[in-house]
A = this chain, B = another copy of it.
Amino acid sequence: MFAARGYSGVSMRHISQAVGISAAALYHHFPDKENLYLEAMAHAFTDKAAGITAALEGSGTSLERLERFVDSFTGLMGDDPDFRALLQRELLDGDEIRLKLVAERVFLGPFQAMTALAEELAPECDPHMLAISMAGLVLFHFETAPVRRFLPGGRPEHNDPKIIARHVTRLLSRAFGDG
């Protein structure tokens, strides 16, 4: 619900109704709405990054690991749209404390592996920026899904994680493959 409607778009009564208990009963389990939200986020974000990091840290050439990363990342975003929405809402609404927490607890591991891969792929490039570019290249295709259908050339298959992965892999391979 937070993924779909945002923090202030979901009331305690909405949640209670969805769970099947009274609104007051929620306060038996969570001290207040903010803590409920934080625990929901912590639950949604737990173990999401493990697969990504594993794909990046496995064996193989840098191009093979790049392809595995893109496959793993697109797969994650395709499988869990709520995770992606929560993430992007947090980027818009999260205060300093929450963003720092998410950065350290969720992003740090995979991001370090991504920068390491970035340095292998393009040593003359800023690894931080290249890592961000790789992630954005994937994420934006999911982020724009609801509007792309109204843009010329938009087809349902463009929302298929496999198709997105192939496109992104090809693009990045062209840039860094024959380095």
Interface residues of A (CB under 8 A from B): 5-6, 8-9, 85, 88-89, 91-94, 96, 99-100, 102-104, 107-108, 111-112, 115, 122, 125-130, 132-133, 135-137, 139-141, 143-144, 146-148, 150-155, 158, 163-164, 167-168, 170-172, 174-176
Contacts and interface: CB of A to CB of B under 8 A. Distances in A.
Contacts of A126: 153, 158, 167
B151 A144 contact: no
B171 A99 contact: no
Nearest to A179: B174
A172 B175 CA distance: 7
A16 to B, nearest CB: 18
Say how many copies of this protein the assembly contains. 2
A154 to B, nearest CB: 6
B151 A128 contact: yes
A135 B128 contact: no
Instruction: Name, among A85, A96, A143, A155, the residue most crowded by chain B CB atoms within 10 Å (CB to CB).
Output: A143
A111 B172 CA distance: 22
Instruction: Name, among A108, A143, A147, A155, the residue most crowded by chain B CB atoms within 10 Å (CB to CB).
Output: A147
